[in-house]
Structures are given as structure tokens and as C-alpha cells.
Amino acid sequence: MNLAAIQQRLTWLQQQPDGIIFCQDSGVHYVAVTKDRSHIKLSLVEKVNRQTDLLQSVFDFNHPLHLVSEYTQAMMLGLVWQSQPQRIYIAGFGGGRIPLVLHHYLPDTVIECADVDPIAIEAATKCFGVKLDDRLSVTIQDGREYLEQQKSDTQYDIIMIDVAFGNGYFPHRLSTKEFYQICEKHLSSEGVVVANMLQRDQFYAEKIKTFQSVFSQVCVCPWKDINTVLIGSNSAILEKNEIVARAKYLQDGYQFSFPLTERAREVKLGTELAESVPNLYRSQILHDDSPPAGYFDCWLF
């Protein structure tokens, strides 16, 4: 997918007035796409409270390969561990920003995605320049179910988990030790799992502790007090200077418009990680059959 083709698919957006350009009913939400000059935003609006604006994706159609959100930039750090992945799996699609960028820069990579919301996928293909093909596919299915149904010998070099709603809810079945063991089972020997978390999540420390119970090296890349990207692998341990050096190599090679090297410098691992997460050592590991009290009430606003 070359840049000219992406820009051609976005030409119609330039002719639209500012405001809502797409809005469709999707379960308990409306999926809404709004235009503000050159910026396009995909949000979920709750039917019971139409003042909500749960941001899912944003991009600038004048620079479609630029990742605006710093957490999406940090998700690209998976390439530090796997710079030439053959196969990537992404649970959660949203506006398809990360899949589109990966598809452009990695012409030999197959990218499989799963998302439960067909309306959001429609919005992404109509308003975000995404085009599905034999290298980029989306299955309308729960992200865990999709992975569970793959053949036992199916392996991915990078697995990305980005299924948090804008209000802070992260599905329990995609937060447990059993789920990350499924991810680990489908990782190549040098594979890496990258997951987006929200720091204000009531069970933030428990989720990091759970992630650590499956992967021998875990790094976090926090963004302000909002998101944290978790990176986990059972391959050779990388020191901080090696992570930064590899990110700079990728930055220089691909000429990303977003600062991947800066995101690498923000990575915390080892004692630095532990010190950045209050109560990490005292936290419990999350399991499928024992969700903590109050988990399903933690819709944060």
C-alpha cells in the first residue's frame, strides 16, 4: 500500500465540512467520525449519555502515515524485538491506524486483526484510508477467540493487544494469565507481545503483574498519566541501551515521521519498572475463573 494510494482514498475528506461525517448505531454506542480541519477522529458515543466521547483513533489526512497518539507510537516498539516480522496478529482494530502503518512499511508482512465491532471497521475503511487485501485482514470476532481457534502450529512474530475502551474498560478475558499463555503459545521463538493499558485502571498493577507471570522480559512505556504500553518476550533479554539503539536504527531506516527513538528512551524495565508501579509486588495475578471483586464495575470516566 503506497502513500499515493492512501492519499487518493482520502481525497474526498478534504471536501467535507467540519463536523460529523459518519455516524452509525453499534450496540450500546454510536460509532462517530468527526472532521476538524485536517484531523479525523473516531469515537464511541454512548446512547445513554450522548455527551460521552470515547476516543478510539485520530489521524491527520495530510500526513496519513504519522501516528498522532504517543501510545500508538509506543506500540510500534514491537519492531525493536522483531524488525522483519513475517506475521502479525492484532486484537482490536479501531480506526486501523497501526495496521495501516505496518502494512505500508512492511510489504512482506501478513497482518491479521480481530475486532468485535463491524461498524468501526466500516468507519476505518471509509474514513481512515484503510484498504483490506491479502496482507491485511480483519475478522469480526472476539480477539481471544480468534487466537484460540488458530491451529496449534500457527505462530506470530508480533502480537498486539489494543482492546481498551476510551473510558478505561479492558475485557477481563484479555487480561488474564491464561490469555497471555495463549499468546505465548502462538509466538515465534523470538516473538513479542505488545499491549495497551490505561494507567487509571483500578487493576493496573494486577494486569502488569499478570503479564510478568508469563513473559521473562517485560518493559513498560508510560505516556503521561494516561496510557502504558506493555512489551513482553521470552527471547533474549535486551538492555535499555540496546532497545534505544535498535529503535534509532528503525527510525533512520524507515524514516518514520513519529519519534520511535524517543518512545524507546521512555521505556522502563527491571527495578525502574517496579518503582514506577505502586503495589506491584503485592498485587494478585488475574485468572479466568476468579475475576477480582468490582472488576466489571470499573468503567472509568
**pLDDT tens figures, 236-269:** 999 999 999 999 999 999 999 999 999 999 999 9
Stated as kind and residue range, the H or E segment containing 18 is none
Q: What is the pLDDT of residues 106-162, one digit of tens each?
A: 999 999 999 999 999 999 999 999 999 999 999 999 999 999 999 999 999 999 999
Q: Which three cell numbers stand for residue 206?
A: 494486577
Q: What is the pLDDT of residue 164?
A: 75
| Mean pLDDT confidence for 212-221 | 97
Position of cell 482520502?
Answer: 10
**How many CB atoms lie under 10 A from the CB of residue 176?**
23
**Could you tell me if 161 and 174 are in contact, meaning their C-beta atoms sit under 8 angstroms apart?**
yes
Give all strands of the β-sheet with 110-115 in edge-to-edge order: 136-140, 110-115, 87-91, 156-161, 187-198, 227-233, 217-223, 268-269
The pLDDT-based confidence of 300 (bands split at 50, 70, 90) is very low
Give the Å distances, CA to CA, from 170 to 72, 140, 175, 295.
Answer: 17, 18, 7, 10
- Strands, E assignment, 78-149: 87-91, 110-115, 136-140
Position of cell 475463573?
Answer: 289
**Could you tell me if 87 and 112 are in contact, meaning their C-beta atoms sit under 8 angstroms apart?**
yes
Spatial distance between the Cα atoms of 31 and 53, rounded to a whole number of angstroms: 10
**Could you tell me if 39 and 45 are in contact, meaning their C-beta atoms sit under 8 angstroms apart?**
no
Which three-class secondary structure state does DSSP give residue 12? helix
Closest C-alpha among 27, 25, 60 to residue 41: 60
Burial track 189-219 (b if 16+ CB lie within 10 A, e otherwise): eebbbbbbbbbebebbbbbbbbbbebbebbb
Q: Residue ranges per domain, the chain?
A: 3-9+20-60, 70-287
The pLDDT-based confidence of 44 (bands split at 50, 70, 90) is confident
- What is the second-level CATH architecture of the domain 70-287? 3-Layer(aba) Sandwich (3.40)
Q: What is the pLDDT of residue 301?
A: 39
